[in-house]
Amino acid sequence: MTELRQRTAREPDAPPEDKELESESKADGETASDSESRTDLAAPPAPVDNTPEVLNRALSNLSSRWKNWWVRGILTLAMITFFFIIIYLGPMVLMMIVMCVQIKCFHEIITIGYNVYHSYDLPWFRTLSWYFLLCVNYFFYGETVTDYFFTLVQREEPLRILSKYHRFISFTLYLTGFCMFVLSLVKKHYRLQFYMFGWTHVTLLIVVTQSHLVIHNLFEGMIWFIVPISCVICNDIMAYMFGFFFGRTPLIKLSPKKTWEGFIGGFFATVVFGLLLSYVMSGYRCFVCPVEYNNDTNSFTVDCEPSDLFRLQEYNIPGVIQSLVGWKTIRMYPFQIHSIALSTFASLIGPFGGFFASGFKRAFKIKDFANTIPGHGGIMDRFDCQYLMATFVNVYIASFIRGPNPSKLIQQFLTLRPDQQLHIFNTLRSHLMDKGILTAAAENE
């Protein structure tokens, strides 16, 4: 008590807002020690070394630095192999993997919050967190199903009803969770419970929203899914390699192991990698065609006539470069030019997703989000840059690539009433005749 009086005498008067909060806390029966304990977060459990025993024995004679290098390298090759397998299995499996990754990332972040604040034993925290995850996924995936499976939805009566009232149902589900949260509020822990309410919603914003954008990118064509993800993977690997062998200059305090040598080397390697990968993939329809649902076969199709973006074109080389390479023109796919933008973002801006994650982990005194992958940490540790990349790709497609989709317009047109269809038909015919397009076509016939 004497110490508390001395501290009060040394400290200046608190602002009116703080005094109000103080008096409110006292009214709730909260003591000064309770207030201080809120800031003294419980330390999360220490990470466990889950490296396979086979690797531990094989690498036992190496220093910890080289042992970590080999463990990361072997597990990286295993993950890349797994990535090739799921690409081979097709878009539906890719969507399921994205969903699983999203759930695991959400679990890792929520678990950190639960471990940090575990001593308070907050009621319904985990239950409500997973309930909100369910609500948000229902909303986003319902929107996707309605958008990309419009004909199927209109054909099945239950799906048509769910589609018609989808947003109302989604709002009702969220409102139920909101009311449950209010009913779960406990005296003395109001502020902490609102902290965790915000924690859950920020996690949903970071993880669920951006994983939804990944699936939207996939529907534009698998190349828009594979190239950005591969560029982030390449940059992560090459930055680590350049930093491991040549790194001398620290890059950022949030991540002390990152170096300028790794950052710059990763950038140039990723741009070259993006150009080469784009050239290879642009020649295959299964990668460049949009993923669409075929109503006749009730399956996904990736067959189309490639757009100009994926057809070889000839470009003039600037005079300065001509004197160096001796070529006047070069044949390349227009998508390769876009790949430069994608790889540049993956190399220069994408790592800031990792720096953000590093700051988050430092704030809670943890090394990794989890210990799922030996040498790499948790799933979120591997996807911290991928989510930022997915948002950029979605914005890039909407701004520079995507145009009106005739097939979707026709699907919506066919679901209208006959009088509405006739009105649109007459309006379109008048418009084409005014432009002279319909008359010219009739004369040619």
Distance CA 178, CA 126 (A): 14
Indicate the burial class of 65 (C-beta count within 10 angstroms; 0-12, 13-18, 19 or more): exposed
Residue 136, pLDDT score: 95
- Burial class (CB within 10 angstroms; exposed 0-12, middle 13-18, buried 19+) of 382: buried
Q: In the prediction, which pLDDT does 342 show?
A: 96
E strand map for 278-341: 292-294, 299-301, 313-316, 329-332
Neighbouring residues of 271: CB distance < 8 A, sequence distance ≥ 6: 340, 343, 344, 347
Between 325 and 47, residue with greater pLDDT: 325
Mean residue pLDDT across the chain: 81
Task: Using the CB atoms, write b or e for 8-36: b if 16+ within 10 Å.
Answer: eeeeeeeeeeeeeeeeebeeeebeeeeee
pLDDT at position 223 over 90: yes
Q: Above 80 in pLDDT, residue 12?
A: no
Task: Collect all residues with Cβ–Cβ distance below 8 Å to 339 and sequence separation of at least 6.
Answer: 227, 231, 274, 275, 277, 278
The per-residue pLDDT for range 368-385, each reduced to its tens digit, is 888 887 767 788 888 888
pLDDT tens per residue, range 272-282: 999 999 999 99
State pLDDT tens for residues 109-131.
988 888 776 645 677 888 899 99
**91-116 helix and 125-148 helix, angle to the nearest 10 degrees:** 160
Given a cut of 70, is residue 37 above it in pLDDT? no
255: tokens are 């991540």
Nearest CA-CA partner of 110 in 46, 189, 203 = 203
Per-residue pLDDT at 56: 67
Give the pLDDT confidence of 49-91 residue by residue, as tens digits: 566 666 667 777 777 777 777 877 888 888 888 888 988 888 8
Task: Report the helix count and the strand count for the chain, using DSSP H and E.
Answer: 21, 6
The answer to whether residues 444 and 437 touch, using CB atoms and an 8 Å cutoff, is no
Contacts of residue 306, defined as CB under 8 A and 6 or more positions apart, other chains included, come to 285, 288, 289
Give the model confidence (pLDDT) of 314-340 as tens digits. Answer: 988 887 877 787 788 889 999 999 999
DSSP code of residue 18: H
Residues 11-22 have a mean pLDDT of 41
User: Comparing 148 with 10, which gets the higher pLDDT?
Assistant: 148
Delimit the domains of the chain by residue range: 90-220, 229-399
More confident residue, 294 or 181: 181
Q: Where is mean pLDDT largest: 79-88, 338-347, 360-369?
A: 338-347
Phi, psi of 225 (to 5 degrees): -95, -45
Residue 263's pLDDT band, with cuts at 50, 70 and 90, is very high
pLDDT-based confidence at 40, cuts 50/70/90? very low
- How far is the C-alpha of 438 from the C-alpha of 355, rounded, in Å? 58
> Tokens for 384?
């911290």
Say yes or no to pLDDT of 200 above 50: yes
The pLDDT value given to residue 29: 39
